[in-house]
Structure 1
Amino acid sequence: DAAEKPDCIGLDRNTFRNILHTTFGMTDDMIMDRVFRAFDRDNDGHVSVTEWVTGLCVFLRGNLEEKMKYCFEAYDLNGDGFISREEMFHMLKNSLLKQPSEEDPDEGIKDLVDITLKKMDYDHDGKLSFADYEQAVRDEGLLLEAFGPCLPDPKKHLEFEAQVFKDPHDL
């Protein structure tokens, strides 16, 4: 019955990804998909106005705790509460530039996953819990986006806010 389910009002996946690309300079398809999922809290395939505003609060102005939760959720591809070795491999393989070389590129990525686990896996269980990730980011802030850029580039962030919040009297 149409009265029970109103038409979905909001941004569909393609429109949302287009905004991420054109406004915030994001180019990684997998990361853009993860950002969409983080914004789409009710998982209905659309980002509603409320979800957009709530998501932007963290995306643009979140404190470290909020940003860590958001990034961890984006990196936890299967939603099981851990970033596994396989998830790290998949994200790093996807986000790193392909270097022409004789060596198997997957080997270099596996080495990078091993290095990452040595650095971030505090309880040595072979995967990252949120506690591991949080401790690693608190020890080294650059690890916040260790598996791909899921927050806006600072320059694009400032351009967006300058455009959205410009004084109408300046037009």
Structure 2
Amino acid sequence: MSRMNRTFDTDSSGNIDFGEFLIAISITAQQDPKKKLEWAFSMYDIDRNGYIDKKEMRKIMDAIYDLLGEDKKGSDNPDNKVDQIFLKMDTNSDKKLSKEEFINGCLADERLRKLLAPSAT
């Protein structure tokens, strides 16, 4: 199941029903950056434990680099980018990002917001 399906399939049926579809459209069309960041967080929290760990963030970075056609070698590689993100966002240094840390980090840093949630800018 894709991250998008997992995010909007609120009843875990394996399908997005019409109601869930309407919710997805509503969230992605809203102008409120915080709501869009909440949606991005729920998409990135792959195991739905309420946190984004470095393994999940690495998957996100790999997907973003692939989507943008970025080179994954050199000093600006996905692993280094994940470390930079956690340095800025993981305010309590517990090696995972809560929804609050993710949202506050994106709101405080335009570059991170554009990277992790471009529709929230």
Give secondary structure in 2 for the equivalent of 1:125: coil
> Percent same amino acid among aligned pairs?
22
Tell me, in whole angstroms, the C-alpha distance in 1 between the residues paired with 2:12 and 2:103.
Answer: 25
Q: Which of 31, 41, 55 is equivalent to 1:86?
A: 55
Give secondary structure in 2 for the equivalent of 1:88: helix
Tell me, in whole angstroms, the C-alpha distance in 2 between the residues paired with 1:57 and 1:142.
Answer: 25
Match of 2:98 in 1: 129
Match of 2:17 in 1: 48
Shift, 1:60, TM fit: 1.1
Match of 1:59 in 2: 28
Conservation of the 8 A alpha-carbon contact between 2:42 and 2:48: yes
How many residues in Structure 1 have an aligned counterpart in Structure 2?
118
Conservation of the 8 A alpha-carbon contact between 1:71 and 1:144: no
* TM-score, normalization by structure 1: 0.58
Conservation of the 8 A alpha-carbon contact between 1:88 and 1:147: no
Shift, 1:100, TM fit: 7.8
Conservation of the 8 A alpha-carbon contact between 1:71 and 1:145: no
1:85-104 paired onto structure 2 within 5 Å: 85-96=54-65, 97-99=69-71
| Structure 2 residues not aligned, in runs of 5+ | none
Conservation of the 8 A alpha-carbon contact between 2:36 and 2:117: no
Match of 1:7 in 2: none
| Structure 1 residues not aligned, in runs of 5+ | 1-12, 14-32, 155-171
Conservation of the 8 A alpha-carbon contact between 1:92 and 1:109: yes
Residue 109, structure 1, aligned to residue 78, structure 2 = yes
Give the greater-gyration-radius structure (CA): 1
Tell me, in whole angstroms, the C-alpha distance in 1 between the residues paired with 2:17 and 2:31.
Answer: 19
Check 1:78–1:145 CA distance in 2 against 1; reply closer, same or farther (3 A cut).
farther
Conservation of the 8 A alpha-carbon contact between 2:53 and 2:97: yes
Conservation of the 8 A alpha-carbon contact between 2:51 and 2:99: yes
- AA in 1 matched with 2:71: Q
The C-alpha deviation readout for 1:119-155, integer Å capped at 9, x for no partner, is 1111122221112112112212453464476x59x9x
Shift, 1:90, TM fit: 1.6
Give secondary structure in 2 for the equivalent of 1:83: strand
